[in-house]
Amino acid sequence: MTMRFNPNTSLPSGDYGLRYLFAWLDFMRTASPGGPGWTVSRSSDGSTGGAGDNISDFLDLGQYAAGTSESWFVLRQPDGARELLFNRTNTFDQQWQLWVSETAAFTGGDAGNPPTAVDQKEIHTTINIVQSGANVLHMGADDAAPYGWWTWIHLSGNFSNHQGGMGMIPITDAVQPNDTLPVVYYHTAVGEGWVQAELTFGDGVTSNSQCQAWQPNTSNFETCAALLYQNSSGQIFPNNCSADDNGEDLAIPVVFARRSSLANSFLKGVSDFIMWNGITRAPGETFDSLARVSIGDVNVEWDGVTVPLVS
């Protein structure tokens, strides 16, 4: 895998949910090495819909009149396999629905209706995109297998004022038998971010929970939270253990599972695509010679060159 990055993207106030989603889409469809090289296989700007890329401006994402005019787009992985469908469900610019097709691909669709796939699975009924003020967006995505990606957005001038984030988190170890979709999808909205309270949330309400994962041998996406590390004396990770002798937090992978008190409990597996912070680190703090950056209670790979800008 080779990570590609687009840090420090300023987003002005107004139409902020659409600007955020468009900036991420534009990064994802940029060919490597500028971006990860996903493609828009089908889309609608509310006037023209069907095969191809019809999204050229953030305003093209702003259309919704049920059955008549609806913005949507399908992103295809660089290997041509998995596709993600983002479609609007109402007149609120910030609210989108997310689906996945693992192999069959989405077909059909027009200016007023999104496409379908025979193997489609709904991941999130409602993704709430960022909702307030001028913001700064940071993005990273893998241009090769396992094709993980993440976004982190904060209020301009304040790293700690999280305005949301999204991610497709690959499971990189302890992948379960028959798991043909070894990823966890994550999203948070305004006032939230890559923080413990959101990553570990798992009340069993599948449709809107932040971490969603497919349960092998079923057709279901379920709430599948990140797990904390603790012993009988209390929590260890995140934030309560010193870094290693080199001052690095590189060995604290995140385990995802659905607890047994909920129906359909299962272990999803382990990911080192994101890592829990060992010591408490401020959002925007880099370490390991700019190779990692804290985006909350987790850290992710960084480009090794760029200093994150707060404004």
CA distances, 49 to each of 39, 63, 144, 180 (Å):
16, 12, 29, 30
pLDDT at 189 over 90: no
CA distances, 184 to each of 33, 196, 266 (Å):
25, 16, 13
pLDDT band at 286 (very low <50, low <70, confident <90, very high): very high
Task: Say which amino acid occupies 176.
Answer: Q
Where do we find the tokens 């449709």? 207
**Alpha-carbon 13 to chain mean position:** 22
Instruction: Please state, in angstroms and rounded to a whole number, the distance separating the CA atoms of residues 136 and 155.
Output: 6
Which of 107-111, 198-202, 248-252 shows the lowest mean pLDDT across its residues? Answer: 248-252
Q: Give the tokens for residue 186.
A: 């994550």
Q: Give the tokens for residue 245.
A: 């002798």
Instruction: Please state, in angstroms and rounded to a whole number, the distance separating the CA atoms of residues 19 and 193.
Output: 18
pLDDT at 206 over 80: no
Q: What angle do CA 120, 123, 125 make, to 5 degrees?
A: 110
pLDDT band at 133 (very low <50, low <70, confident <90, very high): confident
pLDDT at 224 over 70: yes
Do the beta carbons of residue 300 and residue 292 sit within 8 Å?
yes
For 154, half-sphere exposure in the C-beta direction (CA atoms, 13 angstrom radius) is 24
pLDDT band at 60 (very low <50, low <70, confident <90, very high): very high
Section 217-222 average pLDDT: 83
Section 265-274 average pLDDT: 94
Q: Give DSSP secondary structure letters for 70-138.
A: EEEEEEE-TTS--EEEEEE-SS-TTEEEEEEESSS--B--BTTB--B-TT-EEEEEEEE---SSSEEEE
pLDDT at 220 over 90: no
Residue 22: enclosing H or E segment and its boundaries? Answer: helix 16-28
Section 108-129 average pLDDT: 92
pLDDT band at 15 (very low <50, low <70, confident <90, very high): confident
Do the beta carbons of residue 18 and residue 95 sit within 8 Å?
no
Do the beta carbons of residue 194 and residue 152 sit within 8 Å?
yes
**Alpha-carbon 26 to chain mean position:** 15
pLDDT at 204 over 70: no
pLDDT at 190 over 60: yes
What does the DSSP 8-state code read for residue 59? G
Section 183-203 average pLDDT: 85
**Residue with the larger pLDDT of the pair 177 and 53:** 53
Count of other CB atoms within 10 angstroms of residue 137: 23
pLDDT at 265 over 80: yes
Q: Mean pLDDT in the chain?
A: 91
Residue 242: what pLDDT? 83
Give tens-digit pLDDT for 86-112: 999 899 888 899 999 999 999 999 999
Count of other CB atoms within 10 angstroms of residue 279: 15
pLDDT at 117 over 80: yes
For 220, half-sphere exposure in the C-beta direction (CA atoms, 13 angstrom radius) is 16
Specify the long-range contacts of residues 68-73, CB closer than 8 Å, at least 24 apart. Answer: 68/111, 68/112, 69/111, 69/112, 70/44, 70/46, 70/111, 70/112, 70/113, 70/114, 71/44, 71/45, 71/46, 72/43, 72/44, 72/109, 72/114, 72/115, 73/25, 73/40, 73/42, 73/43, 73/44
Residue 203: what pLDDT? 60
